[in-house]
Each structure stands twice: as C-alpha cells, then as structure tokens.
Structure 1
C-alpha cells in the first residue's frame, strides 16, 4: 500500500526523556525514559490513553517545553526553542490559526516567513494546490471563525505542510473530520512522509494507524509497541 521510503536525510531522536509535572497532590511522572527514533520518510503513529503524555511529548519536540532529563534532536539538531516551520511543522489539536488572517493567508504564512520566500505567483499556486487537495479551495477568503472545526483542521494541516517541512508533528489531525473529508487528509499525511519528512502523529484513529509505517504506544510513561503485553 505504501510507497518505498526515500533515503533518510532527517530524523527525530528521543533518548531517555523524563518529564515530571508538579501538581498540588504531588509530582506526576508523565514521561519516564522515553526512547523513539523516526527516520526521514517514515510515518509513525503514537497512541495511548488520555493523559499518557502524547501532547507533552509533542510539545517538547516542537520546542514549547523541555524535558527534565534526556535529549531530543529534530532534523539533527537539539531542540532549544521552537524551530522554523520548514524544519519542523506542528499541527496542534487547537489548530492555532490566526483569526485575523484569511484561510489563504494562514496557509501562506510559513512560506512568507521563510528564509527565501517564493514569488507571489509560486506562493499563490502552492496555497491553492494544498487547499484544493483538501477540498477547501472555496474558502480562501474566509476567516477561521467563519468555517467549521473540520475545515479549520484541514486549513491547519495545509499550513503545516506548506513549506515542505523536514519533520511534521500532528496531534489528533482527524478528530473533527467526517467520512468525506478523511481521505484527503490521510493522503496528505502519507504524502508528506513519502516526500521525505519524518512524520509523528498522535492519534486514536485506526484510519491513521493503517497508513503508518509503524505504530507505537505510550504506556506508563514509556514507549512500547502495540503488540506488547502490559
């Protein structure tokens, strides 16, 4: 079903990561020595019960939080701050769209902020291509509050892949989708990996697991494979 993966040129490397959060009732060990490597061109899904630390791990990979111990490298570099979109793009559960920008402007934002912004024609073509692939090309001039959650989620995905990132992190990217809008989202996630990105998707959706090269779970703060017994 999946195409052969390109030769690895970028990766995600998580080694012995520990993260503890302080709560009034006492410290909570969310991650306890997490280890995970993702090759360039590989799509890996991450599952686990609510509160298992999936979002916490993605936050550290995207530079918005730091581990208490262990190391994290994205695209060969240690994470010390949020990386540029072309290096590591994030599709958060909350979408993170700029409400004052139109759909087209949101998707174009990573391209405009890049080191070498494309020409206006090339930028417009890339934005229109992505929105058409996701079936939302009629929404270019609308603002995020004017469209549905499912449409906002697709806009956020288009924005995440616009600059062709070397690493893509997605947190529950199909949570608000209906059956009709699911296939193009799955194709875009798979295509991102097939074009050479290292893709990590936190999800409970079996449809996403089916397009993955590998599935892993967070259980009791460590990474296991789905076939391992508790």
Structure 2
C-alpha cells in the first residue's frame, strides 16, 4: 500500500520577471517500509515539493494523501514526521524535550523517556540531551531534529537533506536510522544530493523542470 501519494501537484511563485512554475503536475507515491530518494539540482523545487507534501505549503492544484486520508486530516507529527532544512527546533526546549514533543502532543507521554534516550543514543548525541539548540552545533541540531521527526513512529517521514553538515560517522548513524525507520513500516522520502543516501534507498526519483523522473 502507498502510504504517501501526491497527485497532479503544481506550485508557482510570482516573480518580477513573471510567474515561475516550480512544480508542474508532480505525481509520486511511497509505500510503507520503502525508502525513496528525490534528487535534483539546487533550485529544482525539491524543498517546494516537500513543503507541499507535508502541509507546510498548499499546492496550486493537486492532492496529497497519507494512508488514504487527505493530508489536512492527518495528525501532524504523529502520522507525518518532517525534517525540514530550516530545522525549527524550539529554542526554549532542550534537545531531549524537542525530540519528545511529538509523543507528548499525541498523548503518549509514557513512551517519552525510553524513546528519546534510544534515539539520542543511536545518533550519538545522548550526552547533549539537556543542552538547548543554541548550545550545540548545527549538525547536532540536525540529528536532534531527525530524532524528533521519527520519535512518534510516523506513517510517513519526509527528510530534506538529512546528511548535510554531518561527518562520516554521523552520516552512517543517520542512514542506519532511516533504514530502521522504514523497517518498522514508515514510508520514507528523502531529498538529497548525497550518494550514500541513494545507496541505501529502494529507488530514486529526480525532479527535472518541475516534473518527476526516474533517477
């Protein structure tokens, strides 16, 4: 079953030189337990596509569904985990509190302690659990944001450049978590330029001139 389906997605933006059409009728689907990558040159529209798929932005036309339900009716964070390029960590919360937030928002407080410890340990930042985002490096913030995105075991994970700003060991930890998350049944869609991410994917797509092609 396709956990994530986008059909006929279009999105354009006004520009002094005229309207720029970034997405031109994009169709894609990601099955449960599948890792799919999306590549494309800078400015190709990958971030715009992800913003539409996770509900951060609305398409001009087209629909998005998660496990057959319209995106607007899907519980945020609980069913659709997101790692955006602008990480969006709450600056007033510690890394551990940020990671546990989706569980708290979905009423699963009893899971918070063990799940947060598990994820921070797997990503090599357990020792930073009580630090605030502004007290750690960007790469460490990025790993915490990924942990937050998967903490509630969502049906769909959208990760925009999850290995940017990371060293070799941290990349390996992130790749391992992405595959394990898929193995638990999550549909994983990753925007990336990183060959190592493509290597662990089940298939790859490319965004070219606003349309999806097989990578």
State the TM bucket, normalised to the shorter chain: over 0.9
Higher helix share: 2
Structure 1 gaps, min length 5: 1-7
Partners of 1:15 and 1:22 in 2: how far apart? Answer: 23
Give aligned pairs, total.
Answer: 215
Compute the displacement of 1:82 (Å): 7.5
Q: Does 1:16 align with 2:1?
A: no
Q: Does 1:190 align with 2:179?
A: yes
Runs of 4+ with >2 A deviation = 79-83
What TM-score does the superposition give when structure 2 sets the normalisation length? 0.96
Structure 2 gaps, min length 5: none
Compute the displacement of 1:81 (Å): 7.2
Partners of 2:158 and 2:93 in 1: how far apart? Answer: 23
For residue 96 of structure 1, the aligned residue among 72, 88, 103 is 88
Partners of 2:109 and 2:135 in 1: how far apart? Answer: 28
Q: Does 1:59 align with 2:51?
A: yes
Q: Deviations over 1:103-157 (max 9, x none)?
A: 111111111100x3232xx321111011001111000110000001111110001
Q: Does 1:165 align with 2:154?
A: yes
Partners of 2:23 and 2:86 in 1: how far apart? Answer: 22
- What is the match of residue 25 of structure 1? 17
For residue 78 of structure 1, the aligned residue among 67, 70, 80 is 70
Instruction: Give 3-state SS (helix, strand or coil) of 1:46's partner.
Output: strand
For residue 210 of structure 1, the aligned residue among 189, 199, 212 is 199
Structure 2 vs 1, CA of residues 64 and 81 (structure 1 numbering), >3 Å: closer, same or farther?
Answer: farther
